[in-house]
Amino acid sequence: MGVSQPADGVRETVERHIPANAGVVHANGALGYAAVGFPASAPAVARRAFIDAITNRPGIEYAELNGTYEAVATPADPHYGEQYVPRLVGAESAWETTFGDSDVRVAVVDTGVAYDHPDLAANVRSAAAGGPGRDFVTREEAIRDGDPQPDSPEEGHGTRVAGIVAALTDNDTGIAGLSQSTLLCGRVLDARLRGRFSDIADGIQWATDHGADVINLSLGGTTDSAAMRAAVAYAAERGVLVVAAAGNEGNDAAVVYPAAYEECLAVGALTREGDLARFSNTGPEVGLAAPAVDLHTTETDGRYGGFKGTSAATAVVSGVAGLALARWDLSGAELRYHLRNTAVDVGLGAEEAGAGRVDAAKAVGTLPKRLTIVGETAYELAVEGALEKSTAMGVTIDDNDAVSGSTAEGQVNGGGDSYAYSGSITRFEYDGSVRTFLNEREVAPEAVTLPREIVVAGTGADADADGSDGDGGSGDAASYAFAVDGALAAVAPGRGSDDTDDGDGVEGERAEGRVGAGDRDVYAFAGDVVEFDRDGPLEVFLDDEAVDPETLSPLPEKLVLAGEATYELSVSGGLERSAAAGATVDDTDSLSGSTATGRVNGGSDAYEFSGSITALRHAGSLVAFHNGVEIDPATLRDVPAVTGASPTDPDGDGRYEDVNGDGRFDVVDVQALFEGREGSAVETDPAAFDFNDDGEAGIVDVQALFARLK
């Protein structure tokens, strides 16, 4: 029953209106209601009659049956009652928003997966999409194939991991997986649960190349491996979140590899009560923790069983990561930050549980990105999604700052303001001294609104600040220069090996710099990369994806044609006119798509193009320069080279069927006849090209000649 004036006396007001056999069992003064209990013997019709009568009494706003709600997302899986983890990590609340998305791919790189298990099959990558996965353990290449099915029931480790991550949910079968992501299955461990570094590294690279968003590594050891380090770096640099087990040797043991690598999100183990599991390794590398004792999951024989260890905890984090990606569009680095930022503090130290226990409800329900503004300035901010105040980096937004919808404005006076948001930042304006941080990573203020990122990573020797090779050598560091067709800014000035140092610079829409091994220069920009030049070994990542630097320059190739000739040029990519070497491509020359035709009369024509030259045909004396080096035009033809320049009359009928003067007449002569008319043989002696005898030379004569040649 609700009362009209709830400030005080709710219980007293309600008690004045209820019958003697009823009583107030609970009152809420803040919300202005009381719960009334009737004896079990009271008939339902009496309760309904009471509600109808009491609603019209003075001071009573409403009366209703005290009904019940059920959890919206409690799945109907028969074994769900044996699973405590989904409730503990907030998955039930997250499921009210999303059960996951098949577009999100989680790779289980392990002992393989029994992908035909009835609680897994529908979430394993389909045959049409490339099949369930790959076996990297079998040494014979002929058997090293796309079948990651374990060889024996003892190889159930990967199947247990897969069940926690993505067993089918709410399907009246078995258990409920944390996320309905697509599973990629890589078999890299054998029946002894051991795997070679090379096999595991291959599995990580394979999963990355096949579109994994998250890679689960419930495996590890005490030995550092250059191959493994390279593999996890390969995945991380391509925007993949690599989740790895901290190890099961005990609280005094260090975090194992590959979890110990900075590219991995290392996961520690907790008990059901939130204590540190006695078997969980600890150390500064631990990023998150998750329940790891008495988990109920899938087995290779189609049944279900128990699972524990940091392997299980790692699977929990991977499953929650899949849920978060179904809700938010995040890179691997952003997802890692988001999972840590939304973790629940369980009272353990950072070396035991990292940021805390992973939480699905907060990961799905919390805005994932943070912008922190520090300095002395007034500012205005707008985003394309939702926006709210945050306390990231320990700053507090005071009452003088205002948030309305997707915009905010405020003032910082030596302190900082922070905001949580989704989508991209569309506007950031300020008029003072300011430093800005995206997800606690410092970026130049002018880069805040730029939506794209390019990373230039050195693969040779370290480059010193003076631009010399870091080893004192001469050729292992790489220099680069690139341009974009929008705004451009350095992302992380002053951040050690992940920045633009004194040898790098941005001017307008162009940047240049130098990188050695371990160096990463990062830029934000708008638009597209229109030019990229390099000298030395490096890798380029565009919006978290590895790209071939050669493909970033739309028109990197140059061709100059000179002499006295007509020509036809075709390339495999884009083609544009150029003014290189003082050349002028005039109106008598034509360009359509990837093909150009024209004539040079003692001067030169120049073009820029991408791809390769597929054909260069000409009549006359032609000299060609490809990227400044003279080439023989005859080597670029897809038909026999032209040997002469003057039209000939092979059959002696007074008409020049051999238009290009190569000693014969064939379809190439039709092409030559159809090329630029002004100054051509047709223009000089039109009567000689009147092949249909109508008194003039025109397009119909091309048809007549073609008929004759045919």
- Is the bond preceding residue 686 a cis peptide, omega within 30 degrees? no
Contact 31, 40 (CB under 8 A): no
Which residue type does 571 have?
A: V
Q: Which residue has the higher pLDDT, 323 or 35?
A: 323
- Whether 578 is a known active-site residue: answer no
Q: Which residue has the higher pLDDT, 622 or 499?
A: 622
Least confident of 38-42, 111-115, 376-380: 38-42
Answer whether residue 180 shows pLDDT above 90.
yes
> Looking at the chain, how many residues does it have?
710
Q: pLDDT-based confidence at 661, cuts 50/70/90?
A: low
Mean pLDDT of the chain: 84
The string of pLDDT tens digits covering residues 450-494 is 888 899 988 876 544 444 434 333 457 889 998 888 888 887 643
Q: pLDDT-based confidence at 8, cuts 50/70/90?
A: low
- Whether 649 is a known active-site residue: answer no
Q: What span, in angstroms and rounded, lies between the C-alpha atoms of 400 and 410?
A: 7
pLDDT of residue 270: 97
- Could you give phi then psi for residue 700, rounded to 5 degrees? -70, -25
Q: pLDDT-based confidence at 667, cuts 50/70/90?
A: low
CA distances from 552 to 22, 142, 166, 530 (A): 79, 37, 38, 7
Q: pLDDT-based confidence at 96, cuts 50/70/90?
A: very high
Percent of all residues in the chain with a pLDDT value above 90, rounded to a whole number = 42
Contact 536, 460 (CB under 8 A): yes
Q: What span, in angstroms and rounded, lies between the C-alpha atoms of 85 and 293?
A: 9
H/E element, 418 = strand 407-421
Bridge partners, residue 59, by sequence:
none
The alpha-carbon radius of gyration of the chain (Å, integer) is 36
CA 100 to chain centre: 17
Place of tokens 């059960």: 99
Annotated catalytic residue: which of 93, 218, 280, 311? 311
Least confident of 43-52, 91-100, 235-244: 43-52
The string of pLDDT tens digits covering residues 423-448 is 889 999 999 999 999 988 888 898 89
Q: What are the domain boundaries of the chain?
A: 2-62, 80-363, 367-447, 452-552, 557-636, 647-710
Percent of all residues in the chain with a pLDDT value above 70, rounded to a whole number = 84
- Calculate mean pLDDT across residues 344-351: 96
- Calculate mean pLDDT across residues 10-30: 83
Q: Report which listed range, 376-390, 496-510, 526-540, 693-707, is most confident.
A: 376-390
Q: Which residue has the higher pLDDT, 63 or 274?
A: 274
pLDDT of residue 465: 40
Q: Which residue has the higher pLDDT, 522 or 318?
A: 318
Q: Which residue has the higher pLDDT, 690 or 327?
A: 327
Annotated catalytic residue: which of 77, 110, 213, 658? 110
Task: Take residue 603 and report the two structure tokens written for it.
Answer: 């001067």
- Calculate mean pLDDT across residues 220-230: 91
Least confident of 76-80, 164-168, 324-328: 76-80
- Calculate mean pLDDT across residues 143-160: 84
The string of pLDDT tens digits covering residues 526-551 is 888 878 888 888 899 988 788 888 76
Q: Which residue has the higher pLDDT, 590 or 503?
A: 590
- Whether 210 is a known active-site residue: answer no
- Calculate mean pLDDT across residues 2-26: 80
pLDDT of residue 72: 41
Q: Which residue has the higher pLDDT, 76 or 367?
A: 367
Answer whether residue 671 shows pLDDT above 90.
no
Q: What span, in angstroms and rounded, lies between the C-alpha atoms of 237 and 208?
A: 10
Q: Which residue has the higher pLDDT, 643 or 701?
A: 701
Q: pLDDT-based confidence at 144, cuts 50/70/90?
A: low
Distinct helix (H) and strand (E) counts, the chain: 14, 35
pLDDT of residue 494: 36
E-state strands within 16-71: 23-28, 33-37, 60-62
Contacts of 695 (CB under 8 A, 6+ apart): none
- Calculate mean pLDDT across residues 178-188: 96
pLDDT of residue 418: 93
Answer whether residue 285 shows pLDDT above 80.
yes
pLDDT of residue 498: 43
pLDDT of residue 640: 35
Annotated catalytic residue: which of 17, 117, 135, 157? 157
Q: pLDDT-based confidence at 64, cuts 50/70/90?
A: confident
Q: What span, in angstroms and rounded, lies between the C-alpha atoms of 298 and 302?
A: 7
Q: Which residue has the higher pLDDT, 5 or 535?
A: 535
pLDDT of residue 463: 44
Question: The domain at 80-363 falls in which architecture?
Answer: 3-Layer(aba) Sandwich (3.40)
- Calculate mean pLDDT across residues 57-68: 78
Place of tokens 């699973």: 83
Q: How many C-alpha atoms does 153 have within 13 Å on its Cβ side?
A: 6
pLDDT of residue 668: 65
With CA atoms as reference, report the closest residue to 456 among 544, 540, 549, 535.
540
